[in-house]
Amino acid sequence: MRGSTALERFQSPTQVIATAFGLAVLAGTLLLRLPAATTTGESAGWVVALFTATSAVTVTGMATVDTDGHWSVMGEIVIAALIQVGGLGIMTLATMFTVLVSGRLGLRARMLAQAESKALGTADMRRVARKVLYFSLSCEAIIAVILTLRFLIGYGEPPGKAIYLGVFHAISSFNDAGFALWSDGLMRFVGDPWICLTIAVAVIVGGLGYPVVFELFRAWRHPAKWTVLTKITVWMTLALLTVGTLAFLVAEWTNPRTLGALDDPGKLLAAFFASVMPRSAGFNTLDISQMHPSSWLVTDVLMFIGGGSAGTAGGIKVTTFGLLAFVIWAELRGEPRVNIGHRRLPESAQRQAVAISLMAVAFVAVSTYILLVITPHSLDRVLFEVIAAFGTAGLSTGITSDLPPAGHLLLVLLMFVGRIGPLTLGSALALKERSTRYELPEERVIVG
């Protein structure tokens, strides 16, 4: 009896998702441990392999070693495959495999895919999963063609290498992973709009979330007909990109080590790129370590918020941030209900937004404290590192490789939690959902 109860608990979607991502990380770690995965022909250390595999599966982009210098072609292909798996979602891939093999999809499989993709219904998950796969591969193919042509024509790379670079960075950018095959990231392309804008657009589209992207395709000419999810995601994304670009321009305009060395169009391009990447991508065309602390603070906020729900971005998500803004606005106005446009926000959504945000703050605060205790680095750098891991952004002020093994393992945990979501992890670890059939008497308390 106990065994069957435990099995039923384990079969909840959230637990399966957490387990599936864990198994993907384990498989990636074992593959990266193979001697053929490194340029030296020696097995990578367990911590290095685990860190890299987790970073790839969670589409973070953090690295303790130089991706191009440490990993062989086989290792880089493994990393690209892990990024693809993590970006599409374990459950979405499982859905497609079920369809291909059996031609039918049961209710439980649809529920698992829904939990991973955040789809609003379960009736047509097979069609949704197919659209997700086709859309992702189509976008990656377009990005790969543009990047390949640029590397081939603009930089004189041999055809084989140009294709390899184009495909790898297409997968890495669309899935918001941020892995680059150069030790300085994309700094050598800081003034190249073909490279920067292509990757930036890929990051934005991948980070919007599949439900939002599909709705924009259907009704992009009629914003008034958009759902609340799409409205919040689109307008919050545009607002954050604008504010971030302006903040970086103001803070770094005269900094000779970042924007100061560029012409005016180059400054605008670099600032926009720097504003896009904290959504969860992790690419950089500027030296993050040379930015002013004010720019680090702006990046912290953008990384913590992240991108859209059901996309490849991390963070608490712009939807959560937007919902909290509406909750605060309703409270300031003394309104008993939270309304967004002509729709009322359910109380359950409000509780989820508050829970996700507070759990995220708790994870970041505790992890920051631990790293401050075990490392000699300053608060601003440690906080940046922690939020970058939790928000699966992958950016760094340059201290990732200097952290002790315990610090790397802590970042592994943060990346894993940040990818599957604090609320999902909490639900997966819960032994049982409890439903009460009574209500207690209400009592007012003093708040604030």
Domain-located, residue 174: yes
pLDDT (average), residues 359-384 = 94
Determine the pLDDT at residue 82. Answer: 94
Overall domain count for the chain: 1
Burial (CB count <10 Å: 0-12, 13-18, 19+), residue 93: buried
Domain-located, residue 443: no
DSSP-assigned beta bridge partners for residue 38: 71
3-state helix, strand, coil in the chain (%, to 5): 70, 0, 30
Express each pLDDT in 240-291 by its tens digit.
999 999 999 999 999 999 999 899 999 999 999 999 999 888 899 999 999 9
> Helices 73-88 & 13-32, crossing angle to 10 degrees?
170
Terminal CA-CA length for the chain: 48
Determine the pLDDT at residue 228. Answer: 86
Domain-located, residue 287: yes
Q: Please tell me the distance from the alpha carbon of residue 227 to that of residue 215, in angstroms, as a whole number.
A: 8
Q: What percent of the chain has pLDDT over 70?
A: 85
Q: Please tell me the distance from the alpha carbon of residue 2 to that of residue 432, in angstroms, as a whole number.
A: 13
Domain-located, residue 435: no
Domain-located, residue 226: yes
Asked if 415 and 387 count as a contact pair (C-beta separation under 8 A), the reply is no
Determine the pLDDT at residue 147. Answer: 96
Determine the pLDDT at residue 1. Answer: 42
Query: If pLDDT is split at 50, 70 and 90, which confidence band does 118 have?
Result: low
Q: Which domain holds residue 251?
A: 2-428
Query: If pLDDT is split at 50, 70 and 90, which confidence band does 431 have?
Result: very low
Q: What is the pTM of this model?
A: 0.87
Q: Considering only residues 107 and 55, tell me which one the structure prediction assigns the higher pLDDT.
A: 55
Residue 190: partners with Cβ closer than 8 Å, 6 or more residues away: 196, 262, 266, 269, 270, 273, 285, 286
Among 292, 296, 244, CA closest to 270:
244
Q: Phi and psi of 337, rounded to 5°?
A: -125, 150
CA angle (363 as vertex; 357, 369 as ends), nearest 5 = 130
Express each pLDDT in 154-184 by its tens digit.
999 999 999 999 999 999 999 988 899 998 8
pLDDT (average), residues 81-97 = 73
DSSP-assigned beta bridge partners for residue 344: 339
Asked if 301 and 307 count as a contact pair (C-beta separation under 8 A), the reply is no
Per DSSP, 84 falls in state: H
Over the Cα atoms of the chain, what is R_g? 22
pLDDT, the chain, mean: 85
Q: Phi and psi of 32, rounded to 5°?
A: -75, -15
Asked if 58 and 392 count as a contact pair (C-beta separation under 8 A), the reply is yes
Task: Give the H or E element holding residue 35.
Answer: none
Domain-located, residue 343: yes
Domain-located, residue 381: yes
Domain-located, residue 437: no
